[in-house]
């Protein structure tokens, strides 16, 4: 589904990703862990097409297509979804309008007519249930005045609406209390299917108690320094990253 | 309810096709062609008798066409009698083939405890120059809510002077100016707090593209003894191109000591973080930028209390931002 080969990316003169190699297959859950500043968020932003970063070399194929040649919206239409670490507040754009516009753009790309108002409301209600989101959120400005937990739930709600093939969740657990964490993780698990995949970027093992990964990668200074099964996350939790760095 | 200076048009007048022809629900339309009321041939003026409550919106549609002079002077007076309450939408359009200039003076008088809601929608064309001087007097306990939407016109200049001359008067001014090409839009405002205990607010926002130029001069004057004045002013601008410009000049002149006054002005560009967020959900760049602009305009439009009118204005603003009108 996703193949990253020797990916290098910079911001200004500073190289942040220094040769990433990663393969994600349908049905898999990958976790990317690593200390602060290792490049985790940069990797997710580069995959979603953020223009702040420049890809200097390497390639990314998504379902056989050159992902790096596509605009962020084109990536979204093809099934890439980025759950933001810090979801953006957009006063004046309601959640309903935002999602309706997004969904209809997806439908346009699939050759489908715009969704009817009734169908949309029904769909929205269903998907809001997945993350136990109150219906009143739909008429509010996107993320405006939402608590940290509500913002993250809104991210998973958007993911549920757009049904991506590959969801990249950037520190979805940061700033969440235990209840919110459970709701968010349950939402992600409910959306899991054999034909889609999830990449979870996290600092802590905690989230991985709920979203169990098939593969765990450790990112350090812009490179993946270790890849193993889910037990690696537990080991990191107990021993930190130092032993891995020393192994280098 | 409205004075004898005109009678309201019956049926649909035979004016050119444009969106304002479609009446809003619960509204009455009045056409003023080249400065004269279509039905009567006389200049327009408005007086709401004391204690009257207008239940309908009055839409005054001012049209310039090729039959009128190139330079037109128009003087209009609006009087809201004691304790009356009314709602007006005043829009101006030009259907001329060449350039036209309009010099307008508008006197607005709110007597004691009168309540008025006025929307001014400026929608002429690229060869239309329109200068308006609004002089507003508010007596004790009166409340004015006035919104200026400047959408189309080569040069638009609004000079707005507010005199809060009776205690507990409230004046809420807001404005949205959208300019592109080589449009020039100026708003020059002076809100004078002449007695204690009045409230005023000014929220003006602008979106400027291409080589458009905007100017905002906003002044709050608080005379000696106008204690417990509460006055607010904000001017926010979004520049969409390198060559678009805005000059913003907020001023406070305060001669009383127990007052609450604030002002702020900003000039910015579309937020790239917002744009990326919207695009990452599949919204194409152009559409995402439009959403951002609508979101920026929203704070002004949301001040229009009547829902039907607010939605009509939102539609119009969206069309304007899309380049459809």
At B266-321, the pLDDT tens digits run 999 999 999 999 999 999 999 999 999 999 999 999 999 888 889 989 999 999 99
How far is it, in rounded angstroms, from Cα A199 to Cα A171? Answer: 11
Q: Does B41 touch chain A (CB under 8 A)?
A: no
- Residue of B242 and A92 predicted with greater confidence: B242
Distance CA A196, CA B155 (A): 56
**Which residue in B12, B132, B129, B30 sits closest to B75, CA to CA?**
B132
Compare CB distances from B283 to A48, A91, A102 and report the shortest one's residue.
Answer: A102
What are the pLDDT digits (tens) for B171-201? 999 999 999 999 999 999 999 999 999 999 9
Band (B8; pLDDT cuts 50, 70, 90): very low
CA dist A95 and A50 (Å) reads 22
Q: Are A101 and B298 within 8 A, CB to CB?
A: no
pLDDT at residue B6 above 70?
A: no
CB-CB under 8 Å, B295 with A98: no
DSSP state of A155: H
Under 8 Å CB pairs connecting chains A and B tally to 79
Ranges of each domain in chain B: 19-271, 272-325
Q: How many residues does chain B have?
A: 325
Name the pLDDT band for A121 (thresholds 50, 70, 90): very high
CA distance A5 to A38: 18
Predicted local confidence at residue B97, as pLDDT: 84
Query: In degrees, to the nearest 5, what angle opens at C-alpha A202 toward C-alphas A201 and A205?
Result: 135
Pick among A52, A73, A163 to test the B interface (most B CBs inside 10 A):
A73
Please provide the DSSP assignment of A115-146 as one string.
PPHHHHHHHHHHHHHHTT--GGGGGSEETTT-
What pLDDT is attached to residue B75?
96
Q: Give the model's pLDDT for residue A21.
A: 96
Residue B316's contacts (CB-CB under 8 Å, 6 or more residues apart) are B19, B121, B123, B149, B151, B325
What is the ipTM for the molecules in this complex?
0.95
pTM of the model: 0.88
Looking at the complex, does the CB of residue B284 fall below 8 Å from at least one CB of chain A?
A: yes
**A49:B280 CB<8 A:** yes
pLDDT tens-place string over residues B209-226: 999 999 999 999 999 999
Tens-digit pLDDT profile for residues B12-29? 333 344 556 677 788 899
**Taking 90 as the threshold, does the pLDDT of residue A69 lie above it?**
yes
CATH number for the domain formed by residue range(s) A2-247 = 3.40.50.300
Pick from B111, B153, B103, B112: nearest CA to B133: B103
Query: Using the beta-carbon criterion (under 8 Å), do A84 and B298 form an inter-chain contact?
Result: no
What is residue B253's predicted lDDT score, i.e. its pLDDT?
96
CA distance A93 to chain B (A): 6
DSSP-derived letter for residue B19 is G
| Residue A15 clears pLDDT 60, i.e. is over it | yes
For A158, the closest chain B residue by CA position comes to B281
Segment 294-313 of chain B within 8 Å of chain A by CB: 294-299
Domain definitions of chain A by residue range: 2-247
Lowest mean pLDDT segment, chosen from B25-29, B73-77, B200-204? B25-29
All residues at 6 or more sequence positions from A117 whose CB lies less than 8 Å from its CB, including other chains: none
What percentage of residues in chain A have a pLDDT greater than 90?
73
CB distance B278–A51 less than 8 Å?
no
A105 interaction partners in chain B (CB closer than 8 Å): 282-284, 287
């Amino acid at each position: 589904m996703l193949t990253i080969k020797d990916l290098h990316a910079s911001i200004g003169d500073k190289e942040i990703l220094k040769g990433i190699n990663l393969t994600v297959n349908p049905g898999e859950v990958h976790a990317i862990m690593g200390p602060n500043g290792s490049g985790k968020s940069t990797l997710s932003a580069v995959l979603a097409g953020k223009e702040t970063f420049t890809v200097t070399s390497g390639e990314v194929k998504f379902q056989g297509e050159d992902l790096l040649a596509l605009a962020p919206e084109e990536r979204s239409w093809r099934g890439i979804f980025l759950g933001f670490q810090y979801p953006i507040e957009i006063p004046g754009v309601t959640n309903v309008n935002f999602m309706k516009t997004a969904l209809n753009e997806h439908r346009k790309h699939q050759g489908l007519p715009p969704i009817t108002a009734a169908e949309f409301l029904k769909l929205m209600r269903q998907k809001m249930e997945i993350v136990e989101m109150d219906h009143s959120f739909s008429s509010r400005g996107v993320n405006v005045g939402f608590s940290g937990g509500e913002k993250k739930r809104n991210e998973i709600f958007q993911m549920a609406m757009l049904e991506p093939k590959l969801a990249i969740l950037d520190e979805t657990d940061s700033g969440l209390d235990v209840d919110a964490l459970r709701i968010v993780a349950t939402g992600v698990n409910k959306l899991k299917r054999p034909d889609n995949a999830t990449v979870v970027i996290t600092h802590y093992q905690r989230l991985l108690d709920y979203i169990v990964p098939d593969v765990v990668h450790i990112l350090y200074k812009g490179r993946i320094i270790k890849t193993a099964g889910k037990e690696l996350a537990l080991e990191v939790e107990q021993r930190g990253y130092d032993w891995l760095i020393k192994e280098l | 309810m409205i004075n004898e200076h005109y009678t309201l048009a019956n049926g649909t007048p035979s004016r050119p096709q444009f969106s304002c022809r479609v009446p809003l629900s619960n509204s009455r339309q009045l056409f003023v062609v080249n400065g004269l009321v279509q039905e009567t041939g006389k200049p327009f003026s408005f007086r709401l008798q004391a204690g009257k409550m207008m239940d309908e919106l009055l839409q005054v549609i001012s049209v310039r066409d090729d039959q009128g002079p190139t330079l037109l002077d128009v003087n209009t007076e609006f009087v809201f009698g004691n304790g009356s309450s009314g709602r007006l939408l005043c829009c101006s359009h030009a259907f001329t083939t060449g350039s036209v200039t309009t010099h307008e003076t508008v006197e607005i008088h709110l007597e004691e405890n009168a309540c008025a809601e006025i929307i001014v929608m400026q929608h002429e064309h690229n060869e239309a120059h329109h200068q308006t001087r609004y002089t507003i007097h508010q007596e004790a306990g009166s409340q004015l809510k006035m919104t200026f939407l400047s959408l189309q016109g080569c040069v638009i200049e609004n000079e707005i002077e507010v005199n809060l001359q009776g205690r507990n008067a409230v004046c809420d001014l807001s404005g949205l100016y959208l300019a592109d090409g080589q449009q020039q839009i100026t708003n020059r405002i002076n809100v004078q707090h002449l007695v204690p205990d009045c409230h005023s607010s000014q929220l003006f926002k602008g979106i400027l593209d291409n080589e458009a130029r905007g100017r905002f001069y906003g002044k709050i004057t608080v005379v000696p003894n106008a204690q417990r004045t509460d006055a607010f002013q904000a001017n926010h601008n979004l520049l969409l191109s390198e060559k678009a410009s805005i000059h913003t000049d907020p001023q406070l002149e305060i001669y009383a000591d127990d007052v609450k006054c604030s002002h702020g002005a900003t000039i910015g560009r579309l937020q790239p973080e917002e744009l990326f967020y919207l695009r990452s959900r599949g919204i194409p760049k152009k559409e995402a930028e439009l959403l951002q602009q609508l979101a920026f305009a929203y704070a002004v439009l949301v001040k229009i209390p009547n829902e039907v009118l607010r939605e009509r204005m939102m539609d119009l603003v969206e069309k304007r931002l899309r380049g459809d009108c």
